[in-house]
Structure 1
Amino acid sequence: MISIRILLYLSTLATLIFGIHTSKLNKTAVTVSQNSSLVLKGSSNVNNFSCHFNMQELKNPIPINYYLASNTIAFEKATLVLHSDAFDCGGKMINKDFQKTLKADAHPQIFLSLKEIKRTNNPDIVNAQVAIEIADITRNYQLPLHLSGTHEWHVTGDLKINLNDFDLETPKKLFGMISVHDIIEIDFNLHLKV
């Protein structure tokens, strides 16, 4: 059953169970359930903050193209497109600072692309390779994802990124007395339907 949980949102589960190799391009689509959440968490030298993504923005099915191997799924197309203005950080001023930090005027979208999934010895965890594009700069990351479910996949995980890696400057207030830290955590809690 380890291989079944690797699939996340793919419909061809039986192929992986038997470890069959294929170079065929497979296509499907997934829908993100509205009880999902995606949150950016950060902190300053004064307090913590959270920016919640409006999941209504992901109501349309997301196309997925992928290749299968015995321990790996390679994705050619599997991207969440997040509009920066769909994040709510809890207030008008902090939302404005968030938009400015992300250079949302010039780059209004954030792209989270799943590149590859590899199984681990734990049946509930896979290692995922993702590419994140912010302000026209792309960085690659590896992170463990926790998986559960059969008809609807529940995917959870978190990833810490450094805003400096995207040439982004965090806001400073009150003549620099309040400053936001460069490390932001992306918290995934996704319910996916094929």
Structure 2
Amino acid sequence: MRVSILHILLITVLSFSSAYSQSEKKRVKINTQSSYVEIHGTTNVNSFNCHYNAKLPENEFEVKLIKKGEVIEIQHEALFLKVLSFKCPHPQMTDDLHDLLEYENYPFIIFQLKKISNNKIAHIMIEMAGEKQFYKVNLNNSLDNNQLVSNAIMELCISDFGLKAPEKFFGMVKVNENIEVEFKIDMNIYDK
């Protein structure tokens, strides 16, 4: 089943919802109105923001959590984010982003959460343009009853994925190879 990047980011914050036994299943439902994912980048001239515009899944989904000391392993399928669902302020920027990510050969960015350590560090595998990289993401969370809101900014370097930052207007405008992925996930978490 292919779902949005938000699923992977949602799962990363489940460790805050309660004290887990050795193995436990949870149900999660996303608040699609207040959750988002954005890419922030810069050039030598200005900055830009691109938004993930795909409809977020409204149905509940299940995750399995396995606690091993201070580490919580997450069992789930890999999650897919459609490259063509990213939109930038200008159509040409959107086309450039899609081309940069080689959407024709690699139509999805693939995410898989491996584990959570110290109750706030998510260990994530990301695959773009056929290249895999592993990252650690610090999470900021707030919990109120069954509602959990998680925010984070994740820094990536596109050259780590074998991608070259584009240059425009005969090299006068150069895109910085370092980008940020910012997300806010608002969800409800229930016992299985």
TM normalised by structure 1 equals 0.81
Report the 3-state secondary structure (helix = DSSP H, G, I; strand = E; otherwise coil) of the residue aligned with 1:103: coil
* Residue type of the alignment partner of 2:186: H
Distance 1:59 1:83, change over 3 A: farther
1:72 equivalent to 2:68? Answer no
Q: Which of 133, 137, 154 matches 2:127?
A: 133
1:148 equivalent to 2:142? Answer yes
> How far is 1:78 from its partner?
6.0
Which residue matches 1:94?
93
Which residue matches 2:6?
none
Greater shift, 51-60 or 102-111, is seen at: 51-60
1:47 equivalent to 2:55? Answer no
Q: Which of 178, 188, 191 matches 2:186?
A: 191
Which residue matches 2:117?
118
> How far is 1:110 from its partner?
0.9
> How far is 1:32 from its partner?
2.5
Distance 1:182 1:62, change over 3 A: farther
Greater shift, 53-62 or 37-46, is seen at: 53-62
Distance 1:188 1:181, change over 3 A: same
Q: Which runs of 5+ in 2 are unaligned?
A: 1-10
1:169 equivalent to 2:164? Answer yes
Distance 1:29 1:100, change over 3 A: farther
Q: Using the alignment, how far apart are the partners of 2:12 and 2:169 within structure 1?
A: 48
Report the 3-state secondary structure (helix = DSSP H, G, I; strand = E; otherwise coil) of the residue aligned with 1:93: helix
If asked which structure has higher relative contact order (CA below 8 Å, sep 6+), I would say 2
Q: Using the alignment, how far apart are the partners of 1:117 and 1:11 within structure 2?
A: 10
Greater shift, 140-149 or 76-85, is seen at: 76-85
Q: Using the alignment, how far apart are the partners of 1:95 and 1:7 within structure 2?
A: 28
Report the 3-state secondary structure (helix = DSSP H, G, I; strand = E; otherwise coil) of the residue aligned with 1:98: helix
Which residue matches 1:8?
13
* Residue type of the alignment partner of 2:47: N
TM normalised by structure 2 equals 0.82
**Contact 2:17 / 2:148 at 8 angstroms: preserved in 1?**
no
Identity of aligned residues (%): 25
Q: Using the alignment, how far apart are the partners of 2:58 and 2:166 within structure 1?
A: 32
- CA-to-aligned-CA distance 1:125-152 (integer Å, 9 cap, x gap): x111111111121100112101111312
Q: What root-mean-square deviation, in Å, do the aligned CA atoms of Structure 1 and Structure 2 show?
A: 2.4
